[in-house]
């Protein structure tokens, strides 16, 4: 991909890179196109690349390019006329090609420039076709430049052959030096001669002579070539769009994975914050209980009871609402609005207007507590409406300082949602009351509730250890939880 000719680069020339590619079923590539259009440069580029690979050199190509390792490289490029050996141009070429055919092994690379020239065009084309067919049968890779119409048609009809051309811009009447595979090229000899300075009188006469011959096949081939070039350009545009689409898909996948990772981290950190809050609240409540002992002030005991109730009602799983909806600042809320208590991960209802206050009374179901105003966020969708989630968790739990707290939770007969809520409340109360060990009874059944319980305990990290109960306590139909 994007192969630069090394020789031109070393000479400081402006080089147009080309994509040079063919499949494994192709053995002979016939390159046609205008004179001075880059056919010979293409042959030299491929040959130099093959030799550079054999020498272990870096190649001036795009990252991700591939090139075969050719065991042998043969080339017949340039005029081999020799006065000393009495060889004409044609004879010199033929002797060299005979040597190549006799010695090239399967998998070799052969480069032939203007095969079959310097003789009668019809005989030269016939001889060239026969030699290329022989090389194709030997399984060698051959690149040949030509102007012969017969070879162009051969590549369109014979298996193992492939046409390629150096592009010619018909509007500017100049070669573009771009290599296009799959189509034959037009020689444009008269146009090139005119560009090089041949008088218009001579080129116009040449065109008339050319048109007086039967050029229908050449005209059809030229038209098909132009159509193929346009299709290839459209294909390249589609390929470019597909690459961009693949890149966008990859970016979207990476973004999704990144967001999922952040969500997991957020849930984990929130779980840790909730547990820390529960531990802190336990310590505060214990202190309040110690202060209330020996005191005749019953209000202190009731206050401790209320605080313990708040702790017992905080769900320890992630908040189930869309956090992006909660954007309203506390100063814009009023009494009766639903609020999200960010640090708790749960919702409640304002019992007073928060404007100008550092702390405000909030109802969590049937429990009333005081929360710092800065911790609250409101939602425009839920203003004046008690949040459904608060209602779901506002089950009456009679928590008293000296009450007997249950050490087991029976989830049998419940669906998943009911079981999760009952388990959260049980775990919250167990932590708040300093329980060291509890048992969650879920039974066997189809294993749905059992898996729910153990997945929850594993993902939240709320307990230090959990395991199946002893056989006398239900075995695998119950889970022992240690705090």
pLDDT, one tens digit per residue, over 436-470 is 899 999 998 888 899 889 988 887 777 889 999 99
Structure pTM?
A: 0.48
pLDDT, one tens digit per residue, over 181-212 is 988 887 777 887 888 888 889 988 888 877 77
Residue 76 belongs to some domain of the structure = yes
| pLDDT score recorded for residue 437 | 92
Integer angstrom CA distances of residue 275 from 363, 409, 422, 431: 21, 20, 18, 9
CATH code, 132: 3.40.50.300
**Domain span holding position 157:** 6-213
| pLDDT score recorded for residue 234 | 87
Integer angstrom CA distances of residue 349 from 328, 336, 386: 14, 6, 6
| pLDDT score recorded for residue 39 | 92
| Distance from the Cα of residue 104 to its chain's centroid | 45
Q: How many domains does the chain have?
A: 1
| pLDDT score recorded for residue 385 | 46
| pLDDT score recorded for residue 392 | 37
| pLDDT score recorded for residue 224 | 73
Residue 477 belongs to some domain of the structure = no
| Distance from the Cα of residue 333 to its chain's centroid | 44
Cβ neighbours of 330 (radius 10 Å): 21
- 131 near 97, Cβ under 8 Å? yes
Task: Determine the angle formed by the axes of helices 416-432 and 448-460, rounding to 10 degrees.
Answer: 40
- Segments of the chain scoring below 70 in pLDDT: 79-87, 213-222, 271, 282, 285-286, 289-290, 292-324, 342-345, 364-368, 380-404, 432
pLDDT, one tens digit per residue, over 31-89 is 998 888 889 999 999 999 999 999 999 999 999 899 999 999 999 987 554 444 445 77
* Three state DSSP letters for the chain: CCECCHHHHHCCCCCCCECCCCCCCCCEEEEECCCCCCHHHHHHHHHHHHHHHHCCCCCCCCCCCCCCCCCCEEEECCCCCECCCCECHHHHHHHHHHHHHHHCCCCCEEEEECCCCCCCHHHHHHHHHHHHHHHHHHCCEEEEECCCHHHHHHHHHCCCEEEEEEEEECCCCEEEEEEEECCCCCCCHHHHHHHCCCCHHHHHHHHHHHHHCCCHHHHHHHHHHHHHHHHHHHHHHHHHHHHHHHHHHHHHHHHHHHHHHHHHHHHHHHHHHHHHHHHHHHHHHHHHHHHHCCCCCHHHHHHHHHHHHHHHCCCCCCCCCCHHHCCECHHHCCCCCEEEECCCCEEEEECCCCCCCCEEEEEECCEEEEEEHHHEEECHHHCCCCCHHHHHHCCCCCCCCCCCCCCEEECCCCCHHHHHHHHHHHHHHHHHCCCCEEEEECCCCCCHHHHHHHHHHHHHCCCCEEEECCHHHCHHHEEEEEC
Residue 199 belongs to some domain of the structure = yes
Maximal CA-CA distance, the chain: 132
Residue 159 belongs to some domain of the structure = yes
| pLDDT score recorded for residue 388 | 41
Residue 196 belongs to some domain of the structure = yes
Q: Which residues contact 217 (CB under 8 A, 6 or more apart)?
A: 149, 153
Residue 102 belongs to some domain of the structure = yes
| pLDDT score recorded for residue 261 | 82
Strand partners of residue 28: 142, 161
| Distance from the Cα of residue 81 to its chain's centroid | 57
Residue 204 belongs to some domain of the structure = yes
Residue 384 belongs to some domain of the structure = no
User: Sheet containing 465-468: which strands, arranged edge to edge?
Assistant: 408-410, 437-441, 478-482, 465-468
Pseudo-torsion of CA 10, 13, 19, 25, nearest 10°? -60
Task: Determine the angle formed by the axes of helices 89-103 and 121-138, rounding to 10 degrees.
Answer: 10
Phi, psi (rounded to 5 degrees) for 459: -80, -30
């Amino acid at each position: 991909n994007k192969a630069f000719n090394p020789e031109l680069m070393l000479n400081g020339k402006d080089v147009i890179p080309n994509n040079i590619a063919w499949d494994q079923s192709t053995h002979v590539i016939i390159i046609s196109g205008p004179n001075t259009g880059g056919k010979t440069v293409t042959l030299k580029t491929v040959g130099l690349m093959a030799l550079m690979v054999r020498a272990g050199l870096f190649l001036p190509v795009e990252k991700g390019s591939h090139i075969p390792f050719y065991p042998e490289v043969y080339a017949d490029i340039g005029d081999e006329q020799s006065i000393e050996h009495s060889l004409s141009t044609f004879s010199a070429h033929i002797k060299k090609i005979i040597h190549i055919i006799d010695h090239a092994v399967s998998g070799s690379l052969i480069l032939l420039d203007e095969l079959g020239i310097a003789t009668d065009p019809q005989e030269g084309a016939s001889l060239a076709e026969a030699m290329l067919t022989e090389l194709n049968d030997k399984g060698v890779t051959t690149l040949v430049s030509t102007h012969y119409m017969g070879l162009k048609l051969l590549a369109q009809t014979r298996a193992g052959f492939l046409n390629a051309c150096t592009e010619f811009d018909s509007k500017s009447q100049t070669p573009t030096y771009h290599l296009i595979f799959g189509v034959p090229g037009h020689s444009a000899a008269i146009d090139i001669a005119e560009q090089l300075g041949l008088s218009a009188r001579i080129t116009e006469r040449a065109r008339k002579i050319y048109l007086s011959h039967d050029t229908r096949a050449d005209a059809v081939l030229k038209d098909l070539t132009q159509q193929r070039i346009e299709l290839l350009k459209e294909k390249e545009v589609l390929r470019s769009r597909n690459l961009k689409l693949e890149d966008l898909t990859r970016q979207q996948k990476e973004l999704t994975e990144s967001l999922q990772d952040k969500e997991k981290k957020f849930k984990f950190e929130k779980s840790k914050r909730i547990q820390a809050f529960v531990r802190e609240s336990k310590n505060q409540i214990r202190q309040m209980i110690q202060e209330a002992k020996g005191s005749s002030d019953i209000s202190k005991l009731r206050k401790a009871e209320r605080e313990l109730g708040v702790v017992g009602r905080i769900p320890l799983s992630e908040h189930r609402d869309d956090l992006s909806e909660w954007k309203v600042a506390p100063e814009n809320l009023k009494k009766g609005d639903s609020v999200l208590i960010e640090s708790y991960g749960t919702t409640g209802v304002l019992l007073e207007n928060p404007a100008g206050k550092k702390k405000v009374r909030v109802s969590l179901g049937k429990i009333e507590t005081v929360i710092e105003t800065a911790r609250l966020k409101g939602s425009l969708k839920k203003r004046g409406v008690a949040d459904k989630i608060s209602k779901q968790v506002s089950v009456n739990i009679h928590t008293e300082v000296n009450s007997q707290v249950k050490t087991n939770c029976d989830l049998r007969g419940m669906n998943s949602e009911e079981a999760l809520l009952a388990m959260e409340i049980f775990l919250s109360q167990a932590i708040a009351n300093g329980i060291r060990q509890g048992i969650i009874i879920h039974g066997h059944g189809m294993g749905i509730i059992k898996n729910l319980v153990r997945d929850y305990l594993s993902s939240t990290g709320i307990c230090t250890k959990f395991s199946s109960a002893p056989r006398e306590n239900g075995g695998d139909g119950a889970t022992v939880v240690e705090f």
